[in-house]
Amino acid sequence: MRVLILGGGASGLAAAICAAKAGASVTVLEGSRKAGRKILASGNGRCNLMNAGEPVYFDGRSFANRMLSAHKNELISFFGQIGLALAQEDGGRVYPATGRARDVLDTLLLYAERFGVTLLYEKKAAGISYGTGPDSLPRFSVICESGERFDADRVIVCCGGMAGLNLGHDGDAYSLLTGFGHSLVSPSPALVAIETERKPLEGLNGLRCPARLTLTRKGKIISSASGEVLFSDHGISGVCAMQLGSEVTGTDETVYIDLSPLFFPEDRAYERLSPPYPGLTCNESRVRALLEERKDRLGAADMLTGLLPGPLKNKFSRLSAAQAAKMICAWPLQVKGTRGMENAQVTRGGLETAEFDPDTCESLKQRGLYGCGEILDVDGDCGGFNLQFAFLSGILAGRAAAAE
Ligand SMILES: Cc1cc2nc3c(=O)[nH]c(=O)nc-3n(C[C@H](O)[C@H](O)[C@H](O)COP(=O)(O)OP(=O)(O)OC[C@H]3O[C@@H](n4cnc5c(N)ncnc54)[C@H](O)[C@@H]3O)c2cc1C
């Protein structure tokens, strides 16, 4: 069985190892000069490669959940088979025990080589056709941008998504599968920083603090998330802001920043909140009472000193206790948009999952053709869910493609 894999990222390398281990002759066509570039960039160089907790997916939720509920153990045993020691941290986040993304990639490349996988670089696939070869047998033919042609019995498309500056494709890879009648759900950036009005952020660049964020559109609550927010000159980032960034459309939206978790550590819940959302100003009366008490004890000028980080204290120092409490609990910032696909970690949208088999990732439009990883319309939360889906879908596709 000749298996051709398009893309040497997380899903492509997992697929290559599993197909080769099952006895197939495997070639990976990688469009760029290096394999696994997103693996190296992931988790700030530490590679948060899976999550031990309940799955949290947004688009493609039922497809991903079904795959994980049936096959998650196979992912754990895959890492075990290639000898990658893992370590679990808060929130079920799983990293390589060495703490280095480089070791994940090196291990994958080592095993690909050991099982005889041929990895070819700068072979960007431009089209796939299916027909009868000169020997009258049906086969796939992949044509590369360079004009080179590769024939195979099975093709697995693992070209990833559009997210990440110079790390994703520019949308053209989707046509490898839409050419076979697959539908494309319009791609948009997910897990991405939010751009807001800039004036109120002056002096805050680089400041981090615990917060609860609530995104509203036309006054209606869309989503809410807690965690560490990072202020910049153009908006807010940090995991919780990036989670909300996935929901931003840029029309009539406001993000409310609740800074009260600064004073009430028990409110520093780092998990994504699910409906019903807390009120925008649920802590306002507590904060106001705290500020009134401090004003009486320390004086109005120092009510916020030592309580808020300096740059925030300066911003709110001219307000009364009541006004400051309101701002601290629901500081509204007008949303301008997101930092775009080049700054996103994941693509929302991609190939419609209903057109693939969740047990094998085989196309339901064309037998012998597979799609896995981020090219499909699956996006998960921060915490290892995206690499987890990429690896597992690659494992299933590789193994299925190698079978007669
Ligand atoms: C900065 C950053 C940090 C991240 N951190 C995490 C994290 O900690 N945890 C997590 O779960 N997820 C994280 N992600 C997301 C995760 O990296 C991706 O979801 C995952 O890599 C997707 O795997 P994939 O195999 O589908 O695609 P990729 O890993 O992107 O691999 C696709 C490969 O296909 C190649 N390619 C593209 N087009 C073609 C073509 N036409 N022909 C041939 N080759 C082609 C690309 O060059 C690439 O090598 C992060 C993403 C970014 C950008």
Ligand 1: centre distance to CA 283 (Å) = 40
Consecutive 10-residue averages of pLDDT for the chain (404 residues): 97 98 98 98 96 96 97 95 95 95 98 98 97 82 97 97 92 97 97 97 94 92 90 95 93 93 66 43 82 96 94 94 93 96 96 98 97 98 97 98 90
**Whether 292 and 354 share a structural domain:** no
Ligand 1 atom with least separation from CA of 7: 34
> Smallest Cα–Cα separation from 8: which of 339, 330, 390?
390
* Alpha-carbon radius of gyration of the chain: 24
**Whether 73 and 137 share a structural domain:** yes
The residue among 314, 338, 362 that closes a domain is: 338
For residue 271, how many C-alpha atoms fall within 13 Å in the half-sphere facing its CB? Answer: 13
- Name the 3-class secondary structure at 116: coil
Rounded to an integer, what distance in angstroms lies between the CA atom of residue 240 and that of residue 225? Answer: 5
Q: Which of 345, 375, 385 to mutate to test the pocket of ligand 1 (most atoms within 8 A of CB)?
A: 345
Identity at 297, one-letter amino acid code: R
How many other β-carbons are positioned within 10 Å of the β-carbon of residue 20?
A: 25
Ligand 1: centre distance to CA 389 (Å) = 11
The residue among 302, 320, 338 that closes a domain is: 338
Ligand 1 atom with least separation from CA of 344: 53
The residue among 287, 317, 338 that closes a domain is: 338
- What percent of the chain is helix, strand and coil (3-state, nearest 5)? 35, 25, 35
Ligand 1 atom with least separation from CA of 385: 11
Rounded to an integer, what distance in angstroms lies between the CA atom of residue 195 and that of residue 120? Answer: 39
Ligand 1: centre distance to CA 278 (Å) = 35
Q: What per-residue confidence (pLDDT) applies to 281?
A: 52
**Which position has the token pair 């690659």?**
394
Tokens standing for 271?
């998990």
Which residues span the domain enclosing 378?
Answer: 2-189+345-402
Rounded to an integer, what distance in angstroms lies between the CA atom of residue 2 and that of residue 4? Answer: 7
**Whether 174 and 232 share a structural domain:** no
Q: What per-residue confidence (pLDDT) applies to 303?
A: 95
Structure pTM? Answer: 0.93
**Whether 223 and 323 share a structural domain:** yes
Q: Which of 100, 122, 387 to mutate to test the pocket of ligand 1 (most atoms within 8 A of CB)?
A: 387
The answer to whether 17 and 3 are in contact (CB under 8 A) is no
Rounded to an integer, what distance in angstroms lies between the CA atom of residue 23 and that of residue 42? Answer: 31
Q: What per-residue confidence (pLDDT) applies to 34?
A: 97
**Whether 351 and 366 share a structural domain:** yes
**Whether 159 and 23 share a structural domain:** yes
Tokens standing for 36?
């696994």
For residues 229, 41, 399, 3, the Cα torsion angle rounded to the nearest 10 degrees is 140
User: Which residues surround ligand 1 with Cβ inside 6 Å?
Assistant: 6-12, 29-32, 35, 37-38, 41-43, 48, 124-125, 158-160, 163-164, 167, 169, 173, 345-346, 373-375, 384-387, 390
Q: What per-residue confidence (pLDDT) applies to 138?
A: 78
**Whether 319 and 360 share a structural domain:** no
- Name the 3-class secondary structure at 24: coil
Q: What per-residue confidence (pLDDT) applies to 278?
A: 45
For residue 125, how many C-alpha atoms fall within 13 Å in the half-sphere facing its CB? Answer: 30
Ligand 1: centre distance to CA 147 (Å) = 25
Ligand 1: centre distance to CA 345 (Å) = 9
**Which position has the token pair 């950036």?**
189
**Whether 42 and 176 share a structural domain:** yes
Ligand 1: centre distance to CA 122 (Å) = 16
Ligand 1: centre distance to CA 161 (Å) = 7
Tell me the CATH number at 93: 3.50.50.60
**Which position has the token pair 């960034």?**
245
Q: Which of 13, 155, 159 to mutate to test the pocket of ligand 1 (most atoms within 8 A of CB)?
A: 159
**Whether 135 and 207 share a structural domain:** no
Q: What per-residue confidence (pLDDT) applies to 90?
A: 87
Query: Which residue's CA is minimally distant from atom 16 of ligand 1?
Result: 387
Q: Per the structure, how many domains does the chain have?
A: 2
**Whether 184 and 199 share a structural domain:** no
165 burial class (0-12, 13-18, 19+ CB within 10 angstroms)?
Answer: exposed
**Whether 331 and 366 share a structural domain:** no
Tokens standing for 399?
């193994």
Rounded to an integer, what distance in angstroms lies between the CA atom of residue 186 and that of residue 172? Answer: 13
Ligand 1: centre distance to CA 232 (Å) = 26
**Whether 148 and 47 share a structural domain:** yes
Q: What per-residue confidence (pLDDT) applies to 261?
A: 85
